[in-house]
Amino acid sequence: MSLNPVEHPVLNAIADRWSPYRFEPRVVESEKLGQCFEAARWAASSYNEQPWSFLLSRRENSDSFQRMLMCLMEANQTWAEQAGALVLTVINTRFKRGGKPNRVALHDLGQASAHFALQATALGLQVHQMGGVNLSKIRHEYEIPEGYEPQTALAVGYPDLSEPVGKSAEELKERESGPRVRLPVHEIVFGDKWGSSAKFGDSEEAS
Ligand SMILES: Cc1cc2nc3c(=O)[nH]c(=O)nc-3n(C[C@H](O)[C@H](O)[C@H](O)COP(=O)(O)O)c2cc1C
C-alpha cells in the first residue's frame, strides 16, 4: 500500500516519498548517494545548461557534517542532525554561453532535486528538502563564487519509523501520522480557460 493517497496510479517512488522529521542516525551508503546524484544529473534543463551544483557532507565525517548543519536555520538543525547526509544546492544564475540571466535555473534545480528525492525513495531512503538555510553563511563558508547562488538544503537518510517518545512526541505524531494532503487534480489543472478544470478518465467520460 502506498503512503500517499493518489487519485491516479503513479510510480511507486512518487507514492512513497515523504519528508521525515526523524531519521535513524546512521550513515548512508556511498553507492546510494552516488545513485541519487546520478538521478539528479539526468534531470532535464533549459538548453541542457544543468545550472545546478551540490555540496555534500556525510554523517561519518563529523566535522564536515557539523559545518554544514550549522548552515541550516536552527529549527531545521534540531531534526536534520540525525540525517545520514546533508546536501546544499547551488544554481548558476547565468547561461554559460552568452552570460545572459537564466530565468529558469531555479526551476531546473527543483527538477534535479525531485529526481534526487525520488531515487532516494526507490532506494529505501527519504529526503527532507529545506528552504530554511542561512544563505550568506553558506556563501562565506563554502566560498561560493560570484554568479552562483546557494538555494536549499537536503537532508538524506533512513527514516526513523519507531514510535516517537519524549517531550515533542505528541507534536511529532501529529506531523507524521496526520493526513497527507494535496490539492485535488481538478483544482490545479485547467483546460480551455483559467479556473475551468481539465477532465481525466471517468470524469471525462461522464461529462
Ligand atoms: C523547496 C522546499 C523547501 C522546504 N523547506 C523546508 C524547511 O525549511 N523546513 C522544513 O521542515 N520543511 C521544509 N520543506 C518540506 C515541506 O514542508 C514538505 O515537502 C511539504 O510539507 C510536503 O510534505 P511531504 O514532502 O512529506 O510530502 C521544504 C520543501 C521544499 C520542496
- Cell numbers placing 13: 517512488
No. of helices (H) and no. of strands (E), the chain: 9, 4
Query: 53-85 pLDDT, tens per residue?
Result: 999 999 999 999 999 999 999 999 999 999 999
* Cβ 56 vs Cβ 76: under 8 Å: no
Looking at residue 43, its amino acid is A
Query: 159-183 pLDDT, tens per residue?
Result: 999 998 887 888 888 888 889 999 9
User: Ligand 1: distance of its center to the CA of 199 in Å?
Assistant: 29
CA distance 117 to 36: 7
Give φ, ψ of 176 to 5 degrees: -85, -35
Q: Which CATH superfamily is domain 12-162 in?
A: NADH Oxidase (3.40.109.10)
Nearest CA to ligand 1 atom 4: 130
% of the chain beyond a pLDDT of 70: 97
Per-residue pLDDT band for 1 (boundaries 50, 70, 90) equals low
- Cell numbers placing 205: 467520460
Q: Is the pLDDT of residue 51 over 80?
A: yes
DSSP per residue over 8-73, as a string? S---HHHHH----S-B-S-PPPHHHHHHHHHHHHTS--GGG---EEEEEEETTSHHHHHHHHTTB-
Q: Which atom of ligand 1 is nearest to the CA of 79?
A: 11
- Predicted model pTM: 0.95
Nearest CA to ligand 1 atom 20: 19
* Cβ 153 vs Cβ 89: under 8 Å: yes
Per-residue pLDDT band for 206 (boundaries 50, 70, 90) equals very low
Question: Is 78 near ligand 1, meaning CB less than 6 Å away?
Answer: no
Q: Is the pLDDT of residue 50 over 50?
A: yes
Question: Is 129 near ligand 1, meaning CB less than 6 Å away?
Answer: yes
Question: If you search the block for the grid coordinates 547551488, which residue do you land on?
Answer: 90
Question: Is 164 near ligand 1, meaning CB less than 6 Å away?
Answer: no
User: Ligand 1: distance of its center to the CA of 130 in Å?
Assistant: 6
CATH 3.40.109.10 occupies which residues in the chain? 12-162
Residue 151's alpha-carbon distances to 29, 54, 111, 172, 176, in angstroms, are: 25, 10, 13, 27, 26
Per-residue pLDDT band for 207 (boundaries 50, 70, 90) equals very low
Q: Which atom of ligand 1 is nearest to the CA of 133?
A: 8
